[in-house]
Amino acid sequence: MVTALRSTSRARPPAPLLPLKQVPHHVAIIMDGNGRWAKRRGLPRLAGHRAGTENVRRVIQRFADYGVKYLTLYAFSTENWARPKQEVRGLMRILSHVIKRETKHFHKNGIRLIHIGDLDGLSPGLQSEVLDAIELTKDNDRMTLCVAFNYGGRAEILDAIRRMLADGLSPDQLDENVFAAYLYTAHVPDPDLIIRTAGEMRVSNFLLWQGAYAEFYSTPACWPDFDVQDIDEALLDYSQRQRRFGGLLPEEADYQTRQSNGRRAGTDKTAR
């Protein structure tokens, strides 16, 4: 049973929310480590993937409680098709099961569900389940849950370019805003924080354009063990960072101005 695979840490009641200085508007998570989690327990890889679905509701709830408005979960990449066929088929069954199990809960709790990626790779039945869940939850506004399934950052960029060419856009019509409007995430703000579980330090073809200025956080916890405490630690770390977006913080800019004014004043005195 899947319930037997749950981490014992989930039996603890949620801790109070931390008083954070800033909370990200959009958090994106690379859900990694299901296979390693299973291997350490002598279980098949699919057991790890099933266990990884058991904390989805808890993770969504915690981020929503903090006021995060967008949460993106990287569930299946375009490269994952290269995995053994049995594992791929199992992942598709798991996605179908989660949609059937969780959609009503999402709707009841004000969660809007959207998909980013290419639905064409999925079976007609699974496509229909995804689209029905999107339709049911489309007017919810507490949080938007973006499920990146059959998604790849490079494929997304190439697809955007193809569609721009098909629409006849000329080079002088193209800027960052126009390009972003052709991405799968056209109506989703760029992520402020990207979290990767299982200790890896790479983005793995995930939100390559959108994550250009995102803060990155890696946790050693495998995805099935990623829990409320891990979320709190990630958000606390984020809240203590200073985001410059290539520029200077106001106090740094003021310091540079004072330094520059001081040098000019010294030059004027010398000239006199």
Tokens coding 111: 């969660």
Residues annotated as catalytic are 32, 80
Tokens coding 170: 């000329």
Contact predicate 116/184, CB 8 Å: yes
Closest CA to 196 of 66, 39, 77: 77
H helix runs in the chain, sequence order: 34-40, 45-52, 56-66, 85-108, 124-137, 153-166, 176-181, 228-239, 250-271
**DSSP string of 99-115, one letter each residue:** HHHHHHHHHHTTEEEEE
Supply the Cα-derived Rg of the chain in whole angstroms: 22
Dist. CA 219–CA 247, nearest whole Å: 28
**Chain-centroid distance, C-alpha 164:** 25
Tokens coding 177: 């805003």
Q: For residue 39, with 0-12 CB atoms within 10 Å meaning exposed, 13-18 middle and 19 or more buried, which class applies?
A: middle
Phi, psi angle pair for 264, to nearest 5°: -65, -40
